[in-house]
Structure 1
């Protein structure tokens, strides 16, 4: 089942990549740009089929995909495609980029090149790929949250911790060592099945809101609970919360890699988590929270390099919140399918994981660096701004941004991206993240 799960999730990733490229392809064709190639993967071609003027295929290395549009960069002003007479440390690279861009241009294609499209059209073409990932993520979230449902904490007690034990004194069987103090919940007489009707006189529909009230509570706290059936009696219990330090999960902590702690009240209660289908409003809230979490993770990527290096070369423990490659996330998908959860929960978890990957693809591809999609959008925005400014000043059109001159920077970023990706892949092989399922 582990192998089956890995294969299924890998196929889901390949579909996400193809779906992304379909966005670029559809928009490019819509604006009249000729697309000779539509490929999923890199390296040697395993399969290809010509359909119209486009060759569709699959390549050997499933770490991405691309569509090849003719005329991605404009020719140098006043020069034909080929070697220019200019010199410089990067001129050969720039000339090669221009020649490669013009490689598939045939007679009649002069007005079907990408660079000849208006800036807003080029922006749409480049944005369409990440946008398709966002659409796929939204559809998957709707299927999971409204179709399958997710474990949702309720203000009903599942278990009551018997005592307060420091992590250094915890026993394998979770028994209380001699002399360990009782938890506030055990002292107050909470039982499994108790529904919390009110806390400090306030009612709560969700455990998340109740958690905030618990963390801020102090002194003597009255709690009204309803005992489970058949009696269903209502009782008032008196709590004396205990202050502890708890880790604060925020953007600053994620970026710095240094956990921050706050002092909050602790009771020793665990809520029930029934699987519940969510409403459209809850889907929007959950998706927004997931989006925020992914933004936080993407912003923290540069700060994760030391931890990755330590996990690969120094045998340090792998950061469970760190970056994961295509290899690692496929293995995680396999572990989900190989777990002892009900089949519906396993499928929902895999779809939810795939949705999170697509949110990551959406955000990462919009970073304004070449060769990512955002690296093509930014020059188009700059070109549009220059054209408008020239028009307002009554000056001639300044022409397109010379993307070929940005290629040395693009190659530099591409090398950094490959090195980072390679480090993550190695980490996923020698020191993978494990799920506790």
Structure 2
């Protein structure tokens, strides 16, 4: 059964990845067609063709390797004028020009990408990453507002009998230890918090905020017990405690150390559950993920070095480091096979898929060819040249011939392939352990 669940997790992520890639390419396809560009192919995957069918002038299909996708637009670059190309990479540039010329069909010379206004070219190339961002926002919104995030509920799970000093190794109350405010007040496990200090509470985080802000102040508290409201009086003591977020995780400072502060403390804990969040929480989660992925990309050379080092030494991988498709699939399988409620496993899988789409969004915006960000940069440079010529009263310059950047494009492509190969090998030989297995 565990093996079956493992496979289900991998299949779920592969389907999710395929949908994400497909929507990314639709983000390019739709505006390209709306702007009149001839699109010859829409493909999900690379390598040998598995299936395809032509509708109108466009061939739609799937290829064997589900690691990306593409659409083939006519005239991504200006048609070659027959001028010989000289230099070390002349043959590569000439081959790129010849391949580009083949996409310009007879009778459709005006329906080429490079003739579009700059703003339209940017929309076409930005459409793919934006589709991934939109999908991520939808996924995180379903998670946060539809299913809910794992947080402390208003149901009391336990009451501490006494107050123990922060950082102590003592686990049990001893004679002479002061009773906790919750125990003094008569709070019982199973009580459901209704209000504190006159404010209704809908989750434990709200209750904690009120209590922490009121050390040595007596608060009125209403709990529901056996279907009846019971009024209690509770006085939080001032105590040094490690601060936690809404999910119950420790707050860390800039140095990664747990934050300790003197706050109100009563000595009660909550049952954990899925709490639905406001509708804008999904967008906030997506934004936070964008920042994290952007930071990861900035640190990518160091992160990749660490991956290679751990591959050689066998040291534990950085849980915040990059993963390949193999690593994501492996992690999805492990999540699906864990001994946890089905809904909790589904939440984690959806979260992984949302994070994957954020990674696709940010990574594709890197301003290097052959990534979408590289094409956007070329379009912007073309626009700057045209604007400058107009300001000086000169004729509009010829469109930027990005085939001259083929050598750089090949270098970037080789680096991307090398990075993918390194991560795949590492994810097989020395995978990231996020589940403590």
Query: What band does the TM-score fall into relative to the shorter chain?
Result: 0.7 to 0.9
Point out where structure 2 has 5 or more consecutive residues left out of the alignment.
244-249
RMSD, aligned α-carbons? 3.6
* Match of residue 15, structure 1, among 13, 16, 19: 19
Over residues 225-272 of structure 1, what are the superposed CA-to-partner deviations in whole Å (9 max), with x where a residue is unaligned?
43441364333333334435676558xx6xxxx625533347565433
2-side partners of 1:211 and 1:364: how far apart? 39
* Match of residue 262, structure 1, among 248, 259, 263: 259
1-side partners of 2:337 and 2:35: how far apart? 46
The structure-2 alpha-carbon separation of the partners of 1:264 and 1:93, relative to structure 1 and needing over 3 Å to count, comes to farther
Any idea what SS the aligned residue of 2:385 has?
helix
Point out where structure 1 has 5 or more consecutive residues left out of the alignment.
none
**Bigger Cα displacement from structure 2, 56-65 vs 161-170:** 161-170
1:198 aligns with 2:196: yes
TM-score (norm 1): 0.80
Q: Which residue of 2 aligns with 1:239?
A: 236
* Match of residue 46, structure 2, among 38, 42, 45: 42
2-side partners of 1:153 and 1:124: how far apart? 43
Verify the 8 A CA contact 1:33 1:113 in the aligned structure 2: yes
Over residues 41-99 of structure 1, what are the superposed CA-to-partner deviations in whole Å (9 max), with x where a residue is unaligned?
122223333333333222222111111222222245xx327xx2422x33333222222
1-side partners of 2:67 and 2:181: how far apart? 50
2-side partners of 1:405 and 1:185: how far apart? 74
* Match of residue 286, structure 2, among 290, 303, 328: 290
Q: Which residue of 2 aligns with 1:330?
A: 329
Q: Which residue of 1 aligns with 2:67?
A: 63
Return the offset for 1:376: 0.9
Verify the 8 A CA contact 1:336 1:350 in the aligned structure 2: yes
The structure-2 alpha-carbon separation of the partners of 1:249 and 1:292, relative to structure 1 and needing over 3 Å to count, comes to farther
The structure-2 alpha-carbon separation of the partners of 1:240 and 1:138, relative to structure 1 and needing over 3 Å to count, comes to same
2-side partners of 1:265 and 1:157: how far apart? 23
Return the offset for 1:161: 6.0
Q: How many residues align?
A: 417
Return the offset for 1:342: 4.0
Return the offset for 1:375: 1.4
Alignment of 1:378-417 (within 5 A): 378-417=377-416
Alignment of 1:2-401 (within 5 A): 2-75=6-79, 79-80=81-82, 84-87=84-87, 89-160=88-159, 176=172, 191-194=188-191, 195=193, 197-198=195-196, 205-208=202-205, 220=216, 222-230=218-226, 232-243=229-240, 248=251, 259-265=256-262, 269-278=268-277, 282-303=278-299, 304-401=303-400
The structure-2 alpha-carbon separation of the partners of 1:118 and 1:244, relative to structure 1 and needing over 3 Å to count, comes to same
2-side partners of 1:214 and 1:350: how far apart? 35
The structure-2 alpha-carbon separation of the partners of 1:109 and 1:168, relative to structure 1 and needing over 3 Å to count, comes to farther
2-side partners of 1:197 and 1:311: how far apart? 51
Q: Which residue of 1 aligns with 2:246?
A: none
Return the offset for 1:377: 1.0
Verify the 8 A CA contact 1:43 1:59 in the aligned structure 2: yes
Over residues 402-434 of structure 1, what are the superposed CA-to-partner deviations in whole Å (9 max), with x where a residue is unaligned?
212233333333333333333332332222334
